[in-house]
Structure 1
Amino acid sequence: MAFGVDESVSVLWGVSRTGILSVWELAQGRMVHQIPLSESENIVCATVDARRRSFVLGTQDGKLLPGSFTIQMTSVPEEEVPAQIRSHRPSPAAETKVVIEGDAAWWTAGQGLWRNSRVSVSREDPVVLGDRAVVLVDSSFRGETRLLAALTEDRVLHVGTSEKKLNFLTGEETVTFSGGSLELDAELGESFPSYLCMSGVGDSVYLLWQDGRLLRVDTRVVDAPQVAERLRVTRGNDTITAFGQLIGKNTLLIGTRDGEVSAWFPIKPENAKTPDGVQLVQGHIFRKGPAAAVCFGPSQRSRLFSVAYSDGTVRVFHATSEQLVAEDRFVAEVTASSAHGSKPLSAARNAAKSWETHISAVAIGPKEDALIAVEKHQAQLWRLAAPHAGITLRSVFGRVWYEGYPKPEFVWQSSSGTDDFEPKYSLTPLIFGTIKATVFALLFAVPLAFLAAVYTSEVLHKSVRAYVKPSLELMAGLPSVVLGFLAALVFAPWVETRLPQVLAVFYTVPFALLLGGHVLRVLPRSWQFVAARYRFWTILVACALGIALANYAGPLAEKAFFHGDIKAWLNGRVGSGTPGWAFVLLPLAGVFVAMTQILWIGPTLERFLPLASRQLWAWIKLGLFLLGVVAAFFASFLLGWLLTHVLGIDPRGLFLGTYVQRNAFVVGFVMGFAIIPIIYTIADDALTAVPDHLRAASLGAGATPWQTALRVVIPTAMSGLFSALMIGLGRAAGETMIVLMAAGNTPIMDWNIFSGFRTLSANIAVELPEAVQYSTHYRMLFLAGLCLFVITFIVNTVAELVRLRFRKKAFQL
């Protein structure tokens, strides 16, 4: 009924339906132990947990007999073996010497070593269910508590817990049992189910009939089990011929007469109509077999499982990737297919000269280095090598349906705290995080760096420029670990407590700068000449006023538009999406209003006021500016209302969402300051390198300095500006310490600017020190580094082609 091999693949053990434990040594195929797991002689059914070596036996008189067994294996040098054991002589036909003495077995292992095996059985107090025979039984563990499920002859399902309690005073250990029962209704027919199993933590019990009917019972409250779900797991008239569970006992393996093998596991969808909110789904379908599936052998350490078919074929699959890892038919060449291509698989066959086609059990070794198939009193052993069976191109870059997930997803999760955890190695969230970090960093850095370069090279006086440019270049010398430290421990907490004010700065500072420019034009001409000499300092004053204005405007906007709590609004607990759209669309609305004033309203007023003085025009433009601000404000809210209430699009869930302290906003802002000096320096040098005769020609033709910069200098220096952008992009994509310390390191795929992420470089820095050398995890980290190199190589290649095109156009000027 249940079989397994030890870690050294030297002994095979099996438990029969009548509760007999048998142990064979595999070198010669001789039985070395045969021990009854119970003293009772009326055992009718049994269940065995191969990982825990625990068992539960069901009796004819309605009792459950739980317990466990151990098989101790030791290797002993020949000189330490007792003399009476060495004195036994093996038979001439035997390749090894096997000696059985008492409860121990000895046999030669070669190279001057002997192996010794001892079997011990620990029996617990019986659990009495009644006087009716137990038909099916299974058990699971929730911590140290054993959960039991049994179906008796009177069609009653019994569910309960068996818990050991130790009396610290007397040292006596007692076992208590408590639970409930559920009678199968008449709708299920009079036939008994063919299979019964519990989930890993005992919150569900599955009853499966041979015709494909499945009944799931909710056993979260063992005193009151209830039917949670009824479904059919086969197609048409197909019947079930094999059943098993993967490690963790949450995934059901179902094999049919037509050779179809599928994996089913519970999920928690949003629209579940079951009492416990859980729904059983078919997550994976594997390559169809040549005949009916007869038995399964799950691995004890991963999602590998073996399946045997009625024609003698044996296959090994990886459940999550659906990959066929190995396949063989008895006494045939063994071949294996893996993610690394096809290669021969070494095989060793013992105690099997000829085979029939009725395999009774298959098992994978504890180290996944062996595969064994059993038929009657014969066994066949293969050496198995499948170290990275779960890695395929689809599992690394595509969506994978993992156990318990409501749908196929991109997931990176390399470790956890339980033995049945399945590592998830999708690089897509890490690539997405790298792109997200780069985009938000460039979003902050590029406008500031380019505008600063244009201003210092075309407008700022050379005496001031001599101090400004070196100061900005010195910023490049700041270690990224210092910036990351400041971002994580200073800037992120500060932003969290002042989020409305920080967001308001992005609007109040530009407003203060533009308003200051219009106010200067209103001043008398003598004052304007004085202000022009101190233009740089007036800009700093305007920026300071904008920051001060944000300190008041932010809380007012939060109270007026975000119900007084912007974080609650971001979580979706209050308000609609209109204010969020208005906040995002306000710059676009401002640009639209400004273009409308420049292209239509301004020329119209010039026609009606041809003799207006310079001072009057300054006042008119100041008024138009203020009216434009109001118009842009209302236009952005109107567009936000249309998007939210007419089209039904809410920004929360797109690029806004729940606020997390360490997020892309913080990373983008701090990383922007790390790459601004690089972009600025290269861009400033490119603009400065433009020949002066081009500027002189433009100014001589009547163009203003600003028009000259936009239409002559920038197009000429475009190749250098693009190079600055690409170098900044590479710096942002490869940044490690700032992202590592300030991004939260959560590998999620979300464009929310207020959520965290994990990049390829940060992931390597975090996980490489703890990765086991040459393991799948270790190799995936190197693959992540290779992906980062490939991405950078492709981007730089495209950037070089674009730069050469810009340079060719510049030479044509």
Structure 2
Amino acid sequence: MSDSAPTTSERGIAARQRRMTTRTSVKLGENIAQGVITVGGLMVIVAVMGIMVFLFRVVMPLMAGGELQGNTRYQLDTQQDVIWINGDEFQTLGIAVAAEGRVITYHIPSGTEVARDQFDFRGAEVTAVAGTLQRDRVAFGFDDGVVRFATLGVQTTTTAQRALPGGLIDLDGRDRMLDGRVYTEVGTGDFRTLFGEIELGDGQQISELPIIAIDYRIGGTRERPTIAFATVDADNQVRVSQSRVQINMMTGAETVSTTTTDLPPLVGLAADAMVTGILLSGTGDRAIVASDDGVVYRYDLRDMDNPSLAEVRRVADDGVAVTAMTFLSGEETLVVGTEDGGLNAFFRLQTGTTDTTDGRELMRARTHAPMPASIVDLSEAQRQKEFVAIDAEGNVWVYHSTSDQVLFELARSGDVSTDSSGMIFPRSNGVMLVSQGGEVEAWQYTQRHPEVTLGVLFSKIWYEGYMEPTYVWQSTAGTDLAEPKYSLVPLVFGTFKAAFYAMIFAVPIALMAAIYTSEFVDKRVRGTVKPMMEMMESLPTVVLGFIAALVLAPLVEEWIGAVLLGFFALPMGLMIGAFAWQALPAQIALKYDGFPKFTLMGLSILITAWVAAQLGTSLERVLFYGDFKQWTTGRIGTGTPFMFLILLPVSYFVTAWAFRKQFGHHYRDLISGLGRSRAGMVDAGRWIVLLLVAMLLSFLVAYALTLIGYDPRGSFIDSYQQRNALVVGFIMAFAVIPNIYTLAEDALNSVPGHLRAASLACGATPWQTARWVILPTAASGVFSAVMMGMGRAVGETMIVVMAAGNTPIMEWNIFSGLRTLSANIAIELPEAVKDGTNYRVLFLAALTLFIMTFVINTGAELIRQRFRKRAFNL
């Protein structure tokens, strides 16, 4: 057969076949879309990883150790034993005082002598010396019982470059000197000028015996300064003296009046024991004396007309002497060094003990790492809870008391056979030691975040003023002397607490609403309700927080009884509406099923809410003795009423379960033979009876718990605060419900229709179908919806900032405030100093929140996959 041209039909078939192939443009578009999606997904992963890397970079310096930057050692020409040293905050100018009154001002980096002065001690020998925290005011005690005061400070001024004197002598690459002044060029081109302020005051006769221990404090105002000092003489007589200085503003003349009070004797001090030191508080309310038998004596000086020996406290083992002690900044912590190298920190706490005269006692709060040999000197930092300890073998260790860590373990490189005294520079960035022989050794270091360790962040710490170790967040205080508290545990707790109470309210409402609109309402009603719920998600959380703080919180406080009653009234309103609808004739119920039914339910809930509002005051009067807020404090009433309300839902479920187990099949046989309306009324009567039985059971259990001593107050119920977790739970649930509802409703609607049809065809009711078929099948989607809602609740910021009271406390009390990680970041980050400790800890809080969210989402995804596998088997 010869070839012939294709017919028209054949060409049409060929054309149709060609049209069934994918065009090149479509393939190209798909490839481009696939590439864009892939790149977008990778960019998201990279962005998330980049955020985590950035957070780690900001946070890691918190865990970094200190870094030594330099060390210098030289010999001063004192020719006498050095008894006191001081240095300025720039580590430029130092002052050393020798035993016979020689005062040398020297350049700290090079050891060059800048100036030399001589105090006239009038032939007396210095037997004790002490100074203020700033070390610029010093008291000397002499062997003739005289006390004299001196000024040994470093003054700082600024000299313009054009006013710089000629003939300056270079000290090093940074500093120059002339006529007892040291000039340092600063970034502006001007010169910082430092010089010593050296002055010795007149003496005061305190005792006829040598002064063996002394301490010195300055207070008052500029116009009326007060000088307080405590002394111990060779006869172990303790005295406290107070001098008031009045300055005539017209003439500048000073009038000094001094009063000296003998304190009670050191009861129990052995005859051969010796006093090794004395401390006086800056407020003058207490003095502490240490002895070489391991005991300290605390005096109560609040009434100087009648001082008392308040406490005798053993701080070391028998036979172990207290060799050094000091107050840390703020004078709330007493650090005691002992002969065996031990270092312990004590707090003076109001314990109510009867063993002391004032109800206070010294409690050992921290035991620091011991040093190898006997402690010979302790010196505190001026601005932080740091101190330097020197032992008899020349070890120099820098401690941070709050974080309980040794920051630096230094060692003298010179002669360690002579004792030395040390100091931490005012900026806590270096240590200077001067031996009795005049050998100076100084270290410069950097330790930016000594107050932070993993233990501080996540463990209990015993802070000043607290009765026991605890978790505390308090990054700032009214004074710089307070120790910052950086525990993240209260913030993590507050985050979970806010999310917990929000989810308690949000999950039942959102899931029940999703099941109701998905399985029971008319499609027209669903088409109206679902978009309205989704629109709720667009409400700004700052608006919700504003409403919660200024409207909802005062309203809940005023109508707390109605609010509590509403928890029961609203479900009851829903049940009443359901039973009312069930009592209608079948033809009416079928005719008006849809929006009228939905309207009836809404009206029923509104009516019961109105009834709850009217009965709220009566409920408060009957169950809570007329004042709910007073009741929460535990001052009136018992815990029975609230436990009755808490146990009522549980009691109802127990009662309903028992009824179903015992009489369920008989009851089903009974109502199966009744008409719709009559069956509805019988079922309503059953519900009322079960509710009354549940109320009786709940009351009996609550009363029994009260009889055995249980009271919920003080645990999850405590004193009422206006901005509390209840308000946060309400408003955050309002923000979370649309998210959970939308995702859960979509998951329920995505269940194949043949599963519903099969279940209904087998005789199951719509509720049984929803419970046993639809919900298990959509479990993965529903669980994802819940976890998405929880993720939003965990990360919510503005609602918590405005409505939670921002109190970082750890208690489950639903009526108290809280502070979350996100809220804490929002509140404190704008005022945090860049790269400061608080700044980095706030970034650590962000990293903690990031990790928490990652762990929760990962766990949720694993559980969701299990739900999906189960759904595939249906």
- Where do 1:795-810 residues align within 5 Å? 795-810=856-871
Aligned counterpart for 1:357 among listed residues 405, 409, 417: 417
SS in 1 for 2:304: coil
Question: 1:203 — aligned with what?
Answer: 285
> Quick check: 2:170–2:177 contact (8 Å CA) kept in 1?
no
Matched, 1:257 2:339: yes
Amino acid at match of 2:367: I
Residue number among 637, 642, 647 corresponding to 2:699 in the alignment: 637
Q: Residue in 2 aligned with 1:373?
A: 433
Tell me the CA shift for residue 446 of structure 1: 0.8
- Residue aligning to 2:57: none
Paired residue for 1:514?
Answer: 575
Instruction: Please report the RMSD computed on the Cα atoms of aligned residues, expressed in angstroms.
Output: 3.1
Cα distance in structure 1, aligned partners of 2:576 and 2:101: 90
Whole-angstrom distance in 2 between the partners of 1:274 and 1:18: 42
Is 1:136–2:217 an aligned residue pair?
no
Tell me the equivalent position of 1:477.
538
Please point out which of 55, 61, 74 is paired with 2:138. Answer: 55
Kindly provide the amino acid, as one letter, of the partner of residue 304 in structure 2: V
Describe the SS at the equivalent of 1:188: coil
Which protein shows a greater Rg?
2
Determine the structure 1 residue equivalent to 2:73.
none
Q: Deviations over 1:531-559 (max 9, x none)?
A: 64521111111111211121233222221
| Deviation by residue 1:134-162 (Cα, 9 ceiling, x = unmatched) | 44332345654544333345544333544
**In the alignment, is the contact (CA less than 8 A) between 2:392 and 2:416 conserved in 1?**
no
Provide the rounded CA distance (Å) in 2 between the counterparts of 1:543 and 1:807: 36
Given that 1:272 and 1:279 are in contact with CA atoms closer than 8 Å, whether structure 2 keeps it comes out as no
1:747 aligns with 808
Residue of structure 1 equivalent to 2:48: none
**Residue of structure 2 equivalent to 1:335:** none
Q: Considering Cα pairs closer than 8 Å and 6+ residues apart, tell me whether 1 or 2 has the greater RCO.
A: 2
Q: Among 788, 794, 807, which residue is 2:855 paired with?
A: 794
Partner of 1:184: 265
> CA contact under 8 A between 1:771 and 1:778: conserved in structure 2?
yes
Mapped to 2, the partners of 1:540 and 1:180 lie a distance apart of 80
For residues 446-490 of structure 1, the C-alpha deviation after alignment (integer angstroms, 9 at most, x for no partner) is 111111000001111111111111111111111011111111111
Query: Aligned equivalents of 2:479 and 2:544: distance in 1?
Result: 36
Taking a change above 3 Å as real, the CA distance of residues 713 and 12 of structure 1, as seen in their structure-2 partners, is same
Change (3 A) 1:366 1:656: same
Worse overlay, 38-47 or 229-238? 38-47
Partner of residue 620, structure 2: 558
More off after superposition, 309-318 vs 468-477? 309-318
Mapping 1:248-327, distance limit 5 Å: 248-269=330-351, 273-327=355-409
Alignment partner of 1:757 is 2:832: no
1:397 aligns with 2:474: no
> 3-state DSSP class of the match of 2:216?
strand
Mark the CA change 1:545 to 1:265 in structure 2 (over 3 Å): closer, same or farther. same
Structure 1: gaps of 5 or more residues: 332-353
C-alpha separation in 1, matches of 2:586 and 2:100: 108
- Give, in whole Å, the separation in 2 of the partners of 1:687 and 1:609: 31
Q: Answer whether contact 1:135 1:153 (CA < 8 A) is retained.
A: yes
SS at match of 1:224: coil
- What is the one-letter code of the residue matched to 2:578? G
**SS at structure 2 position matched to 1:12:** strand
**TM-score relative to the length of structure 2:** 0.83
Q: What is the correspondence of 1:423-438 to structure 2 with a 5 Å cutoff?
A: 423-438=484-499
Between stretches 740-749 and 176-185, larger displacement belongs to 176-185
Alpha-carbon spacing, 1:764–1:612, altered in 2? closer, same or farther (3 Å): closer
Task: Write out per-residue CA displacement over residues 239-274 of structure 1, whole angstroms, 9 at most, x where no aligned residue.
Answer: 223322222222222222222222222223365753
* Mapped partners of 2:120, 2:645: distance in 1: 74
Are the structure 2 counterparts of residues 535 and 304 from structure 1 closer, same or farther at C-alpha, using a change threshold of 3 Å? same
Amino acid at match of 1:492: A
| Corresponding residue to 2:232 among 144, 151, 166 | 151
Out of 550, 564, 572, the position equivalent to 1:489 is 550
- Superposition pairs of residues 111-126 of structure 1, within 5 angstroms: 117-121=194-198
- Residue from 836, 844, 852 that aligns with 1:775: 836
Rounded to whole Å, the distance in 2 between the matches of 1:672 and 1:45 is 68
Contact 2:561 / 2:617 at 8 angstroms: preserved in 1? yes
In the alignment, residue 426 of structure 2 is paired with which amino acid? P
Q: Secondary structure at the match of 1:183?
A: coil
* Structure 1 match to 2:747: 686
Cα deviation 1:267-305 (Å, max 9, x = unaligned): 233657533332211222222222222112222221222
Deviation track 1:308-347 (CA, whole Å, cap 9, x = no partner) reads: 121122111211222121112234xxxxxxxxxxxxxxxx
Question: Where does residue 623 of structure 1 map in the other structure?
Answer: 685
Name the residue aligned to 2:638: 576
User: Match for 1:374: what amino acid?
Assistant: V
SS at match of 2:275: coil
Q: Matched residues in 1 for 2:749 and 2:871: separation?
A: 14
* Structure 1 contact 4–364 (Cα < 8 Å) conserved: no
- For residues 173-196 of structure 1, the C-alpha deviation after alignment (integer angstroms, 9 at most, x for no partner) is 544556754221553244442111
CA contact (8 A) 2:498 2:729 kept: yes
2:606 equivalent to 1:544: yes
**Number of residue pairs the alignment of both structures matches:** 783
1:9-20 counterparts in 2 under 5 A?
Answer: 9-15=91-97
On the 8 A contact 1:314/1:329 being kept in 2, the answer is yes
1:513 deviates by 2.2
1:383-394 mapped onto 2 (5 Å cutoff)? 383-394=444-455
Distance 1:317 1:606 in 2: 77
**Per-residue deviation, 1:529:** 5.1
Q: What does residue 770 of structure 2 align with?
A: 709
Q: Distance in 1 between matches of 2:685 and 2:873?
A: 43
Q: Quote the offset at 1:613 in angstroms.
A: 6.4
Q: Is the 8 Å Cα contact of residues 179 and 223 (structure 1) preserved in structure 2?
A: no
Gap regions ≥5 residues in structure 2: 1-82
State the SS of the aligned residue for 1:477: coil
Contact (CA 8 Å) 2:160, 2:191: kept in 1 or not? yes
Between the aligned partners of 2:730 and 2:184, the Cα distance in structure 1 is 70
Contact 1:37 1:121 in 2 (8 A): no
In structure 1, the residue corresponding to 2:653 is in which secondary structure? Answer: helix
2:493 aligned with 1:411: no
1:448 is matched with 509
Moved more, 322-331 or 768-777: 322-331
Write the distance in 2 (CA, Å) between the matches of 1:493 and 1:389: 43
1:344 matched residue in structure 2:
none
Paired residues of 2:486 and 2:841 also in contact (CA < 8 A): yes
* Cα 1:114–1:573 shift into 2, 3 Å: closer
Q: Which residue in 1 is equivalent to 2:783?
A: 722
Q: CA–CA distance in 1 between the matches of 2:724 and 2:430? A: 47
